[in-house]
Structure 1
Amino acid sequence: MENRLKMEVAKVSMLNDLNTFSNNYSIRVKIVSMSKKMMNENKNEIYRLDMIFMDEMGTMIQASCLHKMLGKFKDFLQLDECLLITKPSLAANKSFAKYTKRNDKISLYFYTSVEKCLDWSGPKYRFNFVNLKDVVKNKIEVNTVIDWTGYVEVCFNLEDTSKKDGSKGKRLNMRIEDLEGQKCPVTLWDDFAIDMFAYMNDKKRDKYVVILCHFGMVNLYRGKRGVANGFELSILFIGTDIEDISSFRKRYVERISASSSSNEHVGSNVISSVEDEFLNNPDFMLIGFLGTISTTKKVLVLGTITAICTDKLWYYNGCNHCKSSVEERFVTKENVDASFDVDHAKSLVCTNDKCEGVDIYSIPFKIPIRVQDSSSTVSLTLFDFEAYKILKKTAKELLAIQDQVVNSGEIPKPYPEIFDTLIGKRYAFIINVKDYNIEHQVENYGISMATNDDEILAALCAKFNLNQHEQSESLDVPDSCSLSTPVDLMKDEMSCSGDNVTPASKALVGNKNPSSDETKRNIREVCDVDDALGCSSTKRRMRDELSQDEDAGVSTLLIPKIER
């Protein structure tokens, strides 16, 4: 039967030559990707097998095999298998993601014949990489299927997500860089995220990590363009020796080695676990000693949030892409008769002519809080990324809730009610002490990272003997700080950093005050020096954190393909 079918076929056709006039042809292809679609009623039974075929010219087309035909072809349909397929059929491609430029796909049906191909002469892989600058500058539409690669500059922490269908998932945010220095956000989901996170924390991994995603996507995440895995048919290459990765890594290392700052480049930076960031940070300090710091640095503090300040806006009025100011403009719409009407809705437009951002909103978080430990109280500012991780809501979403309250006729609080869930909670913060804080004695610091994980807090308390210190009524330096200075040194002139105590310069302490009342007034206006009367310390019963409701695209990753 198979021999007779082969005789009827004149020759092997290339994928570009296929049309719907006839099924009487053969194709020689390699399966470069595949994914299982399960039955809705029975998640253990396959409904359809989705694939991507590549011919010897490197041309690709989507393909599928329905469950009734799987028994006939299952021994042949394996990833990377090369096949000679006789009498396939073309079907309409109705999938959401178009992995090729064609609107049709190969379908294996009753009269199709398949056998293994032993004389494959085509490529092993065929990548069509996009320019990351085109992604960031919005020159490629969101959800477009692409191939992307880059050096992993930084990898952040693995996060839990909740999807619209109620299922749980994982998300990993990274930032990659290409050979031209263009940086681009990366979002990986579910098994892709888990495997990448594990690799980045592997002590045997490459110093300079290069990642490659075959059949990835252009992604829009929290208003910023980036790249992501495309779920169903994506393949992620991590730490493999394929030519494209090896060549990229070699050229990247050569580029940074030629730069003047190459000695400072220590390879892919992993902020992969909150535990590492906090437990390995030696610069711990009591809040009461922050004013003694004489050089810019990041320090670790522990304290309880006692109030949300109400004399400052809790969001930043600027473009979410470039931080420039924004303007509200009425939207115009064209009528059938070519006339224009002004819609009642307003849109935000960035005033920066060079900003190419889209979906602009002017409300990243800038939450002013008061934090207290056994030595003092300080003003800190919780910015967008860390605030979102804690609250599980964007500032844009919370402002919409505030607007609903106003529209209902009620008088809203000066900030969203969910902020009250922060009051009374103990956190560890990594804060930025900047030149302005030091020069003008401004005790208002930005937060770069925050956690209230019980295990991390307990480990930090044990490491710095904080429990013993807090049980004392004095403000003595914790036991972990060796008192290498004279015993009559003023306590507020002492800086506790890890196991060291450094006396602050008395000259510096004595000469920090601004030279005039006008300067003092300007400092207060610019830096929002806290007024205790402008803070809310109302404590409410702690609520459960809001569940995150994100649409990660496809709810489950059926066959994750990660090459390592």
Structure 2
Amino acid sequence: MQDVYGKPGIKNMELVIMDEQSSKMQATVRMALVNGFKQKLQEGSAVTLSRYSLGEIQPKYRMVNRPLRLSFLSNTIIEPCGDFTGSVFGFDFRPFNTITGLQQEEDGQFDVIGHVVASEDLDNYDKNGRSGKKKPLTLADKAGNELRCTLWGDYAQQFSDFVDKCANRGKILLIMQFCMMKIWDGRMGVQNGYNGTKLFLFNGNESIPKEEFMDVELYRLSYFSAQDEAKSENTASRISTQSKHSTRDEFLNKLHVKNIVELLDVDQGKASVIVGTIIAIHEEEGWWYLGCRKCNKKVIKESQFVDLEGDSKPKFGYQGTPDQWKCTKCDKIVTGIKTEFRLQIRVQDESGTISLSLFNDDVQALVGRSAYQLCDKYGCKLLKLVILLEKKGFDDLDESVLLDWLNVNVGDHDESQKVLNGVKNKILKAETLINQLRAMGHEITDDYLVDLNFFSED
């Protein structure tokens, strides 16, 4: 059950109702009726409904992939039901292989159950002026199929809190009810959908005695009975309990601010903050590469791979062809590759200049587009435009001219306006951080010469 908010306040309330045969249907309470019905509709309670309407209009926030939805009327009658014999949750778990094989996202939400075999750090991110939490996971089913799962917001924090208290991190069983599909880097995964998703977490070493989780207990017994302790320990090592700091926290509290000239005295591997201006992009060194999906390192054609220490000729993969991709770090043939950013730039502050490499996440945060999207649609033009705008600001530039250029090189007017608004938000965020650093006593000047020749006048 979740409220859907419009700008003035609650727009309507969306519910999922279930009968004794575990058949589900989405229901809607319009804004004018929410206050009258909200106290009678509690999650987990059993009620009887009468005097309602059914319609084929699909709700904007679809949670159940069914053609009909139930709408509450002003005279709808809600009464308690004391003899409901159906399931409490009505889990209907979708097999992983019916998700991972899809190329397009499907509407509607569904349930998944799986063993958490890997998780990344809890990411406390700042994006377009908003802060949030993100926790990427990998789930496995009984057949060994893996599924990428991303938890956002309170769900990410719920998982991290559970892991901190769990005695056996190698046997965490996860249920996500009413999750939704999301494709990222060409791979289909799942994530929590709006606030209606329910997240259940269990220690696989402990029995689940509650009757409403009987089917989950049977799954737990069948899954972990065949898993040895060595495999469990290996899984536990892939469950991260670390937390990434937000950009603002790192810049203001966690790292030391340095001038470029002072970086010579900083120990190797120690992170620092510099405040400077990008004065050049080294396009001749390339700005993207094809990377391994597992480790993000560069992949090359096997025919181009040279073993300097080996005496024998290169042996090609099982297909006997030199056209397979090989990871330079994993030293294996890879079946999945992705386009990654690697941008060489020159940065200047009042003390000097320095060459830096920006990798995938950094560049993507700057331009708001993936490397694949830029390669496929825009090339390096959008990269240059964003950096130019972040250096010069909007005071001296005619937005109508920029929008005309974006309409030609990026897409339609709405998409172009999104690009422009995104850059504005990034500039505002950068200016806010710089002003906060100055307020903390750091001497940061911006009255040095900036060379704009790398971006042609047109």
The residue aligned with 1:43 is 8
- Aligned equivalents of 1:198, 1:213: Cα separation in 2: 15
Q: Is the 8 A contact 2:140 2:147 kept in 1?
A: no
The residue aligned with 2:154 is 195
Displacement of 1:367 after TM fit? 0.6
Residue identity in the other structure for 2:244: S
Q: Provide closer, same or farther for how the CA distance between residues 35 and 413 of structure 1 changes in structure 2, counting only shifts above 3 A.
A: closer
Tell me which of 270, 273, 278 is aligned to 2:242.
270
Residue identity in the other structure for 2:358: L
Q: Secondary structure at the match of 1:99?
A: coil
The residue aligned with 1:368 is 344
Matched, 1:389 2:365: yes
Residue identity in the other structure for 1:100: V
Matched, 1:311 2:272: no
Q: Is the 8 A contact 1:319 1:325 kept in 2?
A: no
Residue identity in the other structure for 1:123: S
The sequence identity of aligned pairs, in percent, is 21
Residue identity in the other structure for 1:381: S
Q: Please show how residues 415-494 of structure 1 align to structure 2 within 5 Å.
A: 416-419=384-387
Displacement of 1:382 after TM fit? 2.0
- Aligned equivalents of 1:200, 1:124: Cα separation in 2: 23
The residue aligned with 1:154 is 120
- Aligned equivalents of 2:78, 2:27: Cα separation in 1: 14
Q: Is the 8 A contact 2:25 2:69 kept in 1?
A: yes
The residue aligned with 2:94 is 130
Displacement of 1:60 after TM fit? 1.1
1:247-268 C-alpha deviation (Å, 9 max, x unpaired)? 8889679947332853972743
TM-score by length of 1: 0.48
Displacement of 1:103 after TM fit? 0.8
Residue identity in the other structure for 2:125: E
Q: Secondary structure at the match of 1:178?
A: strand
- Aligned equivalents of 1:300, 1:84: Cα separation in 2: 61
Q: Secondary structure at the match of 2:284?
A: coil
- Aligned equivalents of 1:312, 1:85: Cα separation in 2: 67
Matched, 1:175 2:132: no
State the superposition RMSD in angstroms. 5.5
Q: Please show how residues 64-143 of structure 1 align to structure 2 within 5 Å.
A: 64-67=28-31, 73-96=37-60, 98-109=62-73, 112-138=76-102, 141-143=105-107
- Aligned equivalents of 1:273, 1:36: Cα separation in 2: 31
Displacement of 1:135 after TM fit? 2.9
Q: Is the 8 A contact 1:364 1:383 kept in 2?
A: yes
Displacement of 1:216 after TM fit? 1.3
Q: Is the 8 A contact 1:215 1:233 kept in 2?
A: yes
- Aligned equivalents of 1:184, 1:217: Cα separation in 2: 13
Q: Secondary structure at the match of 1:364?
A: strand
**May I ask how many residue pairs the two structures share in their alignment?**
357
Displacement of 1:394 after TM fit? 3.2
1:432-481 C-alpha deviation (Å, 9 max, x unpaired)? xxxxxxxxxxxxxxxxxxx99969x98xx99xxxx9xxxxxxxxxxxxxx
- Aligned equivalents of 2:281, 2:13: Cα separation in 1: 53
Displacement of 1:218 after TM fit? 0.5
- Asked which structure has the greater CA Rg, the reply is 1
Q: Provide closer, same or farther for how the CA distance between residues 195 and 301 of structure 1 changes in structure 2, counting only shifts above 3 A.
A: same
Q: Is the 8 A contact 1:154 1:174 kept in 2?
A: yes
Comparing both chains, which one has the higher relative contact order based on Cα–Cα distances under 8 Å and sequence gaps of 6 or more? 1
- Aligned equivalents of 1:306, 1:313: Cα separation in 2: 17
Q: Provide closer, same or farther for how the CA distance between residues 62 and 416 of structure 1 changes in structure 2, counting only shifts above 3 A.
A: same
Residue identity in the other structure for 2:282: C
Q: Provide closer, same or farther for how the CA distance between residues 201 and 102 of structure 1 changes in structure 2, counting only shifts above 3 A.
A: closer
Gaps of 5+ in 1: 1-33, 163-167, 327-349, 404-411, 425-450, 468-536, 541-564
